[in-house]
Amino acid sequence: MAKGVKTRVFTRNELEEIGVPYECGAFEGSAEELHCDLYDRSRWSLTYEFIFRAPDDGRAYLVYYDVGATEMQDGTDLWNYEDAIKAVEVEQVEVVTTEWKSVKESK
């Protein structure tokens, strides 16, 4: 993690109480899901990057969670068996990129 990055530590219970990651927006006082994307995969698990807006302070936070790679996968823990989950405070920023595209033939 980069030096000087703002973080907040959530307990497993705190994340569960605000519905992260599965029940965001499902009940009053739950977090708002802003982004969820597959971040990494291994033979046994899938790691997701998840950004949510916390209901208590209105700030956006980034966490990573794991799920089993198959429906038969046992032993995978959402928070990698951690009791304290470090979340990075994030903000949405517009980013401009340049790509190479194929040139179309003229008629």
CA dist 87 and 60 (Å) reads: 9
* pLDDT confidence of residue 26: 94
* pLDDT confidence of residue 49: 98
CA dist 19 and 30 (Å) reads: 5
CA 91 to chain centre: 13
CA dist 69 and 43 (Å) reads: 7
* Tens digit of each residue's pLDDT (9 = 90 or more) over 45-89: 999 999 999 999 999 999 999 999 887 777 678 999 999 999 999
Whole-prediction pTM: 0.84
> Phi then psi for 31, rounded to 5 degrees?
-70, 160
Find residue 4's DSSP bridge partners: none
How many residues does this entry show for the chain?
107
* Tens digit of each residue's pLDDT (9 = 90 or more) over 23-32: 999 999 999 9
